[in-house]
């Protein structure tokens, strides 16, 4: 970036992307399932501006325009919850990815799409290339830090967070570093850092939302569900449509026995797989009809993902097996597969619960070793594992 102002704008946009990342990833295959009856049926109507850009020959030959249009399609996919726009974006960037002249902006756009597919190693490789060409891109740094966190590479995440700090954006860097903190006492220290930021009244909404989500995760890991609930509620008030916030808040409400509140949060059409799991679990004891419909929609969504060969819904499939079907062996297999892909707090908790439910000593031992080796602090997971005695 050529100026501090543009760096700060990029960081603010990337902070929003980091906060929204998991929810964006959950968007895959959420468009209404519909099959054309004959070859004359309209499959997709492009907005005029998008159609003009997509058909503009320059868009296909100018990599900067390709990146710009891919970003627009990805943003439209997230707004409309129509995954076909992700496909349009991928079709644009795919021919350029292997070219040495692909500019950093296009590589970052491609990395965003790879993250959406939960192809985190691919995303990191694309971001490596982008940052090799433009090491001062703070937004790409934050994106790569987030990918490293999901891969469980906390030291790499901290390195990128510190690089963001060097650009002069202390707020984004502090939230980033809080997310990546490991070692004894790291959760308590990270919570203190974010509490100081929380006192400010001049935070842009995306940055405030990211800070609250991060603080809620830390509170949960610290065994403080009341604080986590309050923080998630505030994040939801900032962005009521944010799917990851709704899903995490609904899951916490279910744990606390407030299924009716969780059901209200999980309402709506074309919601993510995570919200469908929450709706199914919440409705099970309240409205069997709603639960049945949610199960049917969720099964269809998971099947589409299976046919496409994606692994974007492994967590939800594992939660379904564990909490609804009570098939602990299948839940454990799915949780293991999911943890190999992503290592966020819900992924760790799912594997812990599945391993304990299945009385799988090997996985319990693996989890203890992983927590010790990485220094990742989660009092809830650690206490659950300690109580097994295995």
- Domain covering 1-30+44-176, topology: 1.25.40
Q: 41: pLDDT confidence band, cut at 50, 70 and 90?
A: low
In terms of Cα–Cα distance, which of 370, 374, 362 is closest to 388? 362
User: Per-residue confidence at 306, pLDDT binned at 50, 70, 90?
Assistant: confident
**Domain segments of the chain as ranges:** 1-30+44-176, 181-239, 313-390
CB 72 within 8 A of CB 93: no
Q: For the chain, what percent of residues have pLDDT higher than 70? A: 84
**Average pLDDT over all residues of the chain:** 87
Over residues 257-267, mean pLDDT: 97
pLDDT at 26 over 70: no
What's residue 36's pLDDT?
A: 54
122 close to 114: Cβ distance less than 8 angstroms: yes
Q: CB-based burial of residue 310 (10 Å sphere; 0-12 exposed, 13-18 middle, 19+ buried)?
A: middle
User: Distance between CA atoms of 62 and 67, rounded to whole angstroms?
Assistant: 9
**How confident is the model at residue 348, as a pLDDT?**
98
The pTM of this model reads 0.86
């Amino acid at each position: 970036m050529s100026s501090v102002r543009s760096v700060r704008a990029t960081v603010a946009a990337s902070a929003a992307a980091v906060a929204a990342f998991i929810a964006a990833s959950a968007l895959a295959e959420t468009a209404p399932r519909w099959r054309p009856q004959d070859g004359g049926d309209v499959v997709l109507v492009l907005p005029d501006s998008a159609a003009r850009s997509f058909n503009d020959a320059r868009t296909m030959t100018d990599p900067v325009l390709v990146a710009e249009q891919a970003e627009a399609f990805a943003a439209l996919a997230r707004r409309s919850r129509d995954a076909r726009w992700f496909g349009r974006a991928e079709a644009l960037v795919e021919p350029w990815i292997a070219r040495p002249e692909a500019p950093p902006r296009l590589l970052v756009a491609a990395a965003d799409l790879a993250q959406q597919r939960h192809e985190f190693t691919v995303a990191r490789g694309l971001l490596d290339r982008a940052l090799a060409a433009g090491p001062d891109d703070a937004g790409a740094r934050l994106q790569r830090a987030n990918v490293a966190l999901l891969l469980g590479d906390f030291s790499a995440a901290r390195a990128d967070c510190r690089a963001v700090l060097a650009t002069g954006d202390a707020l984004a860097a502090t939230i980033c570093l809080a997310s990546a903190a490991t070692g004894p006492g790291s959760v308590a220290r990270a919570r203190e850092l974010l509490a100081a930021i929380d006192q400010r009244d001049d935070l842009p909404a995306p940055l405030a939302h990211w800070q609250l989500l991060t603080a809620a995760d830390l509170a949960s890991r610290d065994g403080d569900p009341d604080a986590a609930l309050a923080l998630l509620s505030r994040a939801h008030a900032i962005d009521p449509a944010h799917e990851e916030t709704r899903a995490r808040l609904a899951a916490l409400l279910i744990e606390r026995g407030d299924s009716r509140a969780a059901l209200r949060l999980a309402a709506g059409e074309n919601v993510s797989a995570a919200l469908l799991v929450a709706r199914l679990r919440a409705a099970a004891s309240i409205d069997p009809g709603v639960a049945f419909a949610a199960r049917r929609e969720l099964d269809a969504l998971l099947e589409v993902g299976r046919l496409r060969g994606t692994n974007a819904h492994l967590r939800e499939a594992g939660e379904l097996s564990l909490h609804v079907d009570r098939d602990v062996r299948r839940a454990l297999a799915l949780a293991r597969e999911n943890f190999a892909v992503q290592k966020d707090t819900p992924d760790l908790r799912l594997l812990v619960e599945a391993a304990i439910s299945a009385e799988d000593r090997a996985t319990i031992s693996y989890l203890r070793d992983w927590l010790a080796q990485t220094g990742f602090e989660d009092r809830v997971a650690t206490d659950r594992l300690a109580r097994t005695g295995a």
